[in-house]
Amino acid sequence: MQVLDGQALAKKIRACIKEEVQRIVQMGKRPPGLAVVLVGDDPASQLYVNMKEKACRQVGMYSKKLLLPADISEAELLDNIGALNEDEKIDGILVQLPLPNGLNEHIVNENINEDKDVDGFSPVNFGKLHLGIKGFEPCTPKGIIRLLKEYGIQIRGRHAVVVGRSNIVGKPVAALLLRENATVTVCHSKTENLAEYTSKADILVSAVGKPHMIKKDMVKEGAVVIDAGTSKVDGKLYGDCDYEEMVDKVSWITPVPGGVGPMTIAMLLENTLEAYKRHVLKNTDSQ
């Protein structure tokens, strides 16, 4: 068994981004800017937003955090997003999910300018992903593919099984695996005999958020296991997969924490830098 070290790869990616941002600033240009919108005071969301803000600062990007009350109206939230769409210092906009009850995340994502949608959740970017057109890819799925490629793991021709069908991880990672020419099976809460599918996977991606739901007897000998599901029990973070139990059976596995999570933030920074380049080049071309 070998560990897919997302922490180490993310550190390398962030170092490269930091160097590029420094070159941009040394040329007398403004740094790339990311706005993170947090609605309400959910502790987990606050933690994620603070981590993203800190990561921005560490690579020299401009970070703007917009804290909005949980009882904000949808119209007011959309007005705030509209202002960020027009803000020339902002290249990427991220609205932290989940949103409080009464706010429709699909409508919110629809109103983020597709060129600033660094989370890849707008209908335009989501559509581009499934059509195989270049756009912003959701950060966690993008990080998973990067991790597999960095460690030289063959995707082409392999049978990949994705457990979970969320718009954030399950569906987009299935689309990206298809793009890499894997044969993909998607399982979900209504799948009967889940182990029948997971035990045939060359590459298993689980993104459910149920602690240790994937056991050793549910994975194939020598499989590659990507654990993208996290949940907290008594303050401790668990993945979907029983890491300790299956380490001797699989060929590669991501730890929780330290696997997929750090890659998600690294891809967010990478998408923001890409958005900046498109933004600045487009403005330069129009002058």
Catalytically active residues, by annotation: 52, 96, 119
Q: Are 250 and 1 in contact (CB under 8 A)?
A: yes
Q: Are 51 and 262 in contact (CB under 8 A)?
A: no
In 3D space, the residue among 214, 229, 215, 219 whose CA is nearest the CA of residue 259 turns out to be: 229
Residues 126, 157: Cα–Cα separation, whole Å:
24
Residue that has been written with the tokens 């979970």 in this structure: 164
Q: And the tokens for 180?
A: 């890499």
DSSP 88-155: TT--EEEEPSSPPTT--HHHHHHTS-GGG-TT--SHHHHHHHHHT---PPPHHHHHHHHHHHHTT---
Q: Are 57 and 14 in contact (CB under 8 A)?
A: no
In 3D space, the residue among 268, 281, 283 whose CA is nearest the CA of residue 35 turns out to be: 268
One-letter identity of residue 251: S
Q: And the tokens for 284?
A: 């330069």
The percent of the chain in helix, strand and coil, each rounded to the nearest 5, is 45, 15, 40
Three-state DSSP at 250 gives coil
